[in-house]
Amino acid sequence: MAEPKLLTIADGVQLVAVQTDTFKTCRIGVQIALPLSGDIAAKAVLPYILRRSCRRYPDFTSLNGHLDMLYGATLGASVSKLGEAQMLKLSISSIDDRFVPDGESVAAQAAELLAQLLFEPKLENGTFALADVEQEKRLLLERMRSEDDDKRVYARRRCEEVMCQSEPFGKNRYGTADEIESLTPERVYAAWREALETAVIRFVLVTSGEADEVCALLKTQFSAVSRRVCDIRTQFVQTAGAVRYERETQPLMQGTLVMGFRCGMKDEYDMDPAVSVMADVFGGGTYSRLFSVVREKMSLCYFCAARLNRQKGVMLVFSGIETENEEKTREAILAQLREIQDGALTQETLETSVRSLCDTIRGYTDSPDVLCAWYGMQILNGTAKTPAQRISEIRAVTLPQVQSAAKAVTLDTVFMLAGTGEEHHD
């Protein structure tokens, strides 16, 4: 696999191209980063509007029929947060021409289609069609509500919301239900222009072919856009104040406890990568404190894990428990953290964690999806650091570094989604 090429398409627009014949597919994705402010709902509906049709394939059915004929090319759209950036994503994967039974060229068509979706959407009277916008509004509202139906996801989102209520990060990445309901074609059109003209944009291409054609195609498209790149910054709160507590009860059999911590970071590079290793020994793999003690030794739960959000400097711990065990679990989780802070971590456990993290990262080059996510994550840094470079950084982490990263961690918010413990039925 060749080293990635980092190419500039336009001001604030980059293409990361990875050339390899390891895979069966050609994959191209675009990440569009905008501040998590302004008309969040209009920006959130945008990737879904762009995914449903374009000038050439003007409705959902004809576009999807075209994808089927390209041997089931996949077209994905999503919205996420990266620190306090609202990330809009679109990606297409098709099988590589080498594997098409009738010798048809499929991969180039897929890359071209992504450009068409982005630059040549279906418009009516200079804006998006009302019927399309109305349907995507409904779908976005259902997507938002149905995500809350997954109680583990819901509890984590609520904890973040309470914890970061006075920071942009506390906002829902889809906007509010009211903001979505009031959306108009004009607002979505404005969001589209805002994205093309001001967003930090990164394309990632993983293919067996050369990147030249795709690069030229994108340069031509962007040459017609007048760019003024937006400024995206994330607010880091280093230390928690008094612990916030929020509790909600639903008729559920199991309770979900979520604890939100501040990691003492002043930016995403602060204590990196020691803070990643710290989160891993605390609640990452099966060797972590949370798995081996809270689950295995204490039998309190089926899952108990910690996840670091380095781009925001926060860490969430979550566990599915008997509601009556809330206090006991909370204490057990904090006790594990205190032990790491007090220096109970051994060199052996550190090595276990480093080995495991590095083993996972080494495998990143074995998946086009993971590679695209890896280079996509670096969009705001403007880098194209390889997995191998990350491995060297992690290997250099020392025990005192992990301990001081742990010492910087403070508990900010506890969110308890309490269950009534009863069977549902009707």
Partner 1 sequence: MTDKLYTDALLGESYREIRHPSGLTIRVLHKDGYKSSYALFATKYGSIDTRIAQADGSFRAIPEGTAHFLEHKLFESEDLDAFERFAKTGANANAFTSFDMTAYLFLCADRFSENLEILLDFVQSPYFTEETVRKEQGIIGQEIRMYRDSAEWEVEFNLLRALYHHHPVRIDIAGTEQTIAQISADLLYDCYRNFYDLHNMVLTVAGKATAEEVLAVADKMLKPASGKAAVREFVAEPPTPAQRTIEERMPVNVPQFALGYKEAIVSPERTEKDVLCADILLEAIAGRSSALFKRLLDEGLINTGFGAQYFHGFGYANCEFSGESADPFRAAEEIRKAVADVRKTGVDPAAFERARRKNYGRFVMQFNEVSSVAHALADSYFAGNDLFESARICRELTLGDVNARLGELLDDDTTALSVILPKDGKE
Positions 48 through 67 that interact with partner 1 (CB under 8 A): 59-62, 64-65, 67
Specify which residues 89 forms β-bridges with. Answer: 31, 78
Candidate list 166, 226, 299, 347; residue touching partner 1; CB under 8 A: 299
344 interacts with partner 1 by CB under 8 A = no
| Residue number, 251 or 343, with CB nearest to partner 1 | 251
* Residue 285, strand partner residues: none
Q: CB neighbours (10 Å) of residue 231?
A: 7
Residue 329's identity, in one-letter code, is: T
384-394 residues labelled b (16+ CB within 10 A) or e (exposed):
bebbeebbeeb
Separation of alpha carbons 244 and 411, rounded Å: 9
* Nearest-angstrom CA–CA distance, 172 and 40: 9
Within residues 249-288, the interface with partner 1 by CB under 8 A covers 250-254, 285-287
- Residue pair 25/95 in contact (Cβ under 8 Å)? The answer is yes
**Of 149, 166, 178, 241, the one binding partner 1 by CB under 8 A:** 149
Residue of the chain from 11, 182, 302, 382 that contacts partner 1 (CB under 8 A):
302
Cβ nearer to partner 1, comparing 38 with 71: 71
Site for partner 1 in 370-389 (CB under 8 A): none
User: Which among 113, 60, 67 has a CA at the least distance from the CA of 90?
Assistant: 113
- CB nearer partner 1, residue 234 or residue 349: 349
- How many residues sit in the footprint of partner 1 (CB under 8 A)? 77
Residue with smaller CB distance to partner 1, 7 or 417: 417
* Closer of 33 and 301 to partner 1 (Cβ): 301
Query: Among residues 60 and 245, whose Cβ is nearest to partner 1?
Result: 60
Question: Which DSSP string do the residues of 305-336 spell out, in sequence order?
Answer: EEEEETTTTEEEEEEEE-GGGHHHHHHHHHHH
Residue numbers 153-192 binding partner 1 by CB under 8 A: none
On whether the CB atoms of residues 65 and 110 are closer than 8 A, the answer is: no
Binding mask 205-234 for partner 1 (x = CB under 8 A): ------------------------------
Find the binder of partner 1 among 55, 266, 362, 395 (CB under 8 A). Answer: 362
